[in-house]
């Protein structure tokens, strides 16, 4: 029985795609367990380079079953676009290898609208989280508020329209207070019609399929997105994403028991990056930071947003090791440090309470104290 979790040990962009790719040569099933199109995994297999935001990183491996787990939030337009792009590139059998959990939540146009309106309003007061504006936060909010719409509901569009109308009624005050106008439920459903026709055949019980695969001795990989310090519980809250990115989230997001997981592999770069706002104790705003950005190509794989860069932070890594139960670490991008006269590593923090070696996540809540 073998299920391995691959988890980002920093603020995302650790090079998980590359490590996942090495592992998937041996994996029969790969399950992505959290997040949505806020991720951007760059894949290169046999010279074929592709950025995927929703599909698991194993999509280019013809023998691998790819599962989008119920912990994910799925933008149907993005997903169908990715499937079509892969089919165009010759991966004709992709849909037969793909399983979309019927319990994942749908990102709908109003989620993206709210994310954008909020970020724009927050930017005006310098309080923006710097989200990817893909609707991630509002979709997870709908999930916990119990007004979300799940992929399985694409099977019955008449019912879906009623569910969307109820969600829009709940969001109306927010949208209007931010200066937006509430979209029409019927128009949303009409736009969903062709997408539903493509996605409904892919729907299934991802939990059952994943558990069966593990029980029958298949090698299963549980692929994380974002990173530990962006996790909604364990990250630098509130400058986090809205999902459970840590290894514990793999059990929930894939729908398996935690005892089914045999090991956890953390991925870290030899230095640190983060995208968006929030604390970053080892950040470098100088020529060395620019070296890391340029040599490491630290620009968002989807948006090309420049990433913030800094030295490797060992207390943060140690923290990630603890909250994930990391059994092994993969270190990426060591070569980016080549040519630097001096390489520094953070081993402790000086805080108002003295020197500490555990990540003072509470102090970090206020970036001015970082
Ligand atoms: P959201 O996930 O779009 O809501 O963004 C919340 C925060 O997580 C922002 O600071 C984003 O920049 C960050 N974030 C989300 N996904 C990624 C990722 O894949 N890599 C790095 N940062 C990310």
**Other CB atoms closer than 10 Å to residue 33's CB: what's the count?**
32
Identify the H or E element spanning 294. Answer: helix 287-295
CB 59 within 8 A of CB 86: yes
**pLDDT grade, residue 1 (50/70/90)?**
low
pLDDT of residue 370: 38
Q: Could you identify the residue written with the tokens 């806020």?
A: 38
- Residues 113-121 have a mean pLDDT of 96
The pick from 131, 137, 239, 272 for probing ligand 1's pocket by mutation, whose C-beta has the most ligand atoms within 8 angstroms, reads 131
Which residue has 């023998």 as its token pair? 63
Atom of ligand 1 nearest to the CA of 13: 20
> Does the Cβ of 136 fall within 6 Å of ligand 1?
yes
Kindly indicate the confidence band of residue 300, based on its pLDDT and cuts at 50, 70 and 90.
confident
Query: Token pair of 26, please?
Result: 């041996």
Instruction: Considering only residues 311 and 19, tell me which one the structure prediction assigns the higher pLDDT.
Output: 311
231 belongs to the catalytic site: no
Q: Which residues contact 319 (CB under 8 A, 6 or more apart)?
A: 228, 358, 359, 361
CB 245 less than 6 A from any atom of ligand 1: no
- Average pLDDT rounded to a whole number, residues 106-131: 93
pLDDT in tens, 194-233: 999 999 999 999 999 999 999 999 999 999 999 999 999 9
Q: What is the pLDDT of residue 2?
A: 81
* Protein residue whose Cα sits closest to atom 8 of ligand 1: 241
Q: Whose CA is nearest to atom 15 of ligand 1?
A: 38
48 flagged as catalytic = no
Separation CA 253–CA 190 (nearest Å): 29
**Range with the lowest mean pLDDT among 108-122, 256-270, 302-316?**
302-316
Distance between Cα 275 and ligand 1 center (Å): 7
Counting from 1 in the atom list of ligand 1, the atom nearest the Cα of 35 is 2
Burial (CB count within 10 angstroms: exposed 0-12, middle 13-18, buried 19+), residue 287: exposed
Q: Is the pLDDT confidence value at 46 over 80?
A: no
pLDDT tier, 369 (very low <50, low <70, confident <90, very high otherwise): very low
Q: How far is the CA of 214 from the centre of ligand 1 (A)?
A: 31
Nearest ligand 1 atom to alpha carbon 133: 3
256 alpha carbon to ligand 1 midpoint, in Å? 26
The percent of residues above 90 in pLDDT, for the chain, comes to 81
Based on its alpha-carbon atoms, the radius of gyration of the chain, rounded to whole angstroms, reads: 20
Measured by CA distance, the residue closest to atom 22 of ligand 1 is: 275
What is the CA(342)–ligand 1 centre distance, in A? 30
The whole-number average pLDDT for the span 251-275 is 97
Evaluate: CB of 9 within 6 angstroms of ligand 1: no
Mutation test residue for ligand 1: of 276, 277, 304, 306, the one with most atoms within 8 Å of CB: 276
For residue 42, the model assigns a pLDDT of 81
Q: For the chain, where are the E strands, in sequence order?
A: 2-8, 29-32, 41-45, 48-52, 65-68, 73-74, 98-101, 105-106, 203-204, 219-223, 263-269, 272-274, 308-310, 312-313, 328-332, 345-346, 349-351, 354-356
8 Å CB contact between 11 and 275? yes
Q: How confident is the model at residue 363 (pLDDT cuts 50, 70, 90)?
A: low
pLDDT of residue 368: 39
pLDDT band at 25 (very low <50, low <70, confident <90, very high): confident
Q: Which residue has the higher pLDDT, 21 or 307?
A: 307
pLDDT at 298 over 50: yes
| 306 CB near ligand 1 (under 6 Å) | no
Alpha helices, H only, 13-125: 16-24, 76-88, 94-97, 109-124
Return the pLDDT at 243.
98
b/e per residue, 169-200, with b = 16+ CB within 10 A?
eebeebbeeeebeebebeebbeebeebbeebe
Ligand 1 contact, 206 CB (< 6 A): no
Q: Is 230 in the pocket of ligand 1 (CB under 6 A)?
A: yes
Range picked from 12-26, 46-60, 170-184 for highest mean pLDDT: 170-184
Residue count (the chain): 370
Q: What mean pLDDT value characterizes the chain?
A: 93
Identify the band that residue 182 occupies on the pLDDT scale cut at 50, 70 and 90.
very high
Q: How confident is the model at residue 138 (pLDDT cuts 50, 70, 90)?
A: very high
């Amino acid at each position: 029985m073998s299920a391995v979790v691959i988890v980002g040990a920093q603020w995302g962009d650790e090079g998980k795609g590359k490590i996942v790719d090495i592992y998937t040569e041996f994996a029969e099933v790969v399950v992505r367990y959290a997040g949505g199109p806020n991720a951007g995994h760059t894949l290169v297999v046999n010279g074929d380079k592709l950025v995927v935001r929703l599909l698991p990183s194993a999509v280019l491996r013809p023998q691998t079953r790819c599962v989008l787990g119920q912990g994910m939030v799925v933008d149907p337009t993005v997903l169908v676009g990715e499937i079509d792009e892969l089919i165009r590139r010759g991966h004709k059998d992709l849909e037969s290898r793909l399983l979309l959990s019927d319990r994942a939540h749908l990102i709908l146009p109003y989620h993206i609208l709210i994310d954008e309106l909020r970020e724009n309003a927050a930017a005006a007061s310098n309080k923006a989280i710097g989200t990817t504006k893909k609707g991630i936060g509002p979709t997870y909010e709908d999930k916990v508020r119990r007004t979300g719409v799940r992929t399985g509901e694409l099977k019955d569009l008449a019912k879906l329209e009623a569910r969307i109308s109820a969600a829009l009624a709940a969001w109306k005050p927010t949208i209007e207070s931010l200066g937006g106008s509430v979209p029409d439920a019927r128009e949303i459903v009409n736009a969903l019609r062709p997408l539903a026709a493509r996605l409904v055949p892919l729907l299934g019980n991802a939990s059952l399929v994943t558990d069966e695969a593990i029980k029958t001795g298949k090698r299963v990989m549980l692929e994380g997105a974002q990173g530990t310090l962006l996790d909604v519980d364990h990250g630098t809250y509130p400058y986090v994403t809205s999902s459970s990115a840590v290894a514990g989230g793999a059990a929930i997001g894939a729908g398996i028991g935690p005892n089914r997981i045999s090991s956890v592999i953390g991925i870290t770069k030899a230095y640190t990056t983060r995208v968006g706002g929030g604390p970053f104790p080892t950040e470098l705003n100088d020529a060395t930071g620019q070296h890391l950005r340029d040599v490491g190509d630290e620009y968002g794989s989807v948006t090309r947003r420049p990433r913030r860069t800094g030295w490797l932070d060992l207390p943060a890594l140690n923290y990630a090791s603890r909250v994930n139960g990391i059994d092994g670490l993969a270190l990426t991008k060591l070569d980016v440090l080549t040519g630097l006269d001096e390489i520094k590593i953070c081993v402790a923090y000086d805080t108002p309470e003295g020197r500490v070696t555990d990540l003072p996540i509470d102090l970090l809540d206020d970036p001015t104290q970082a």
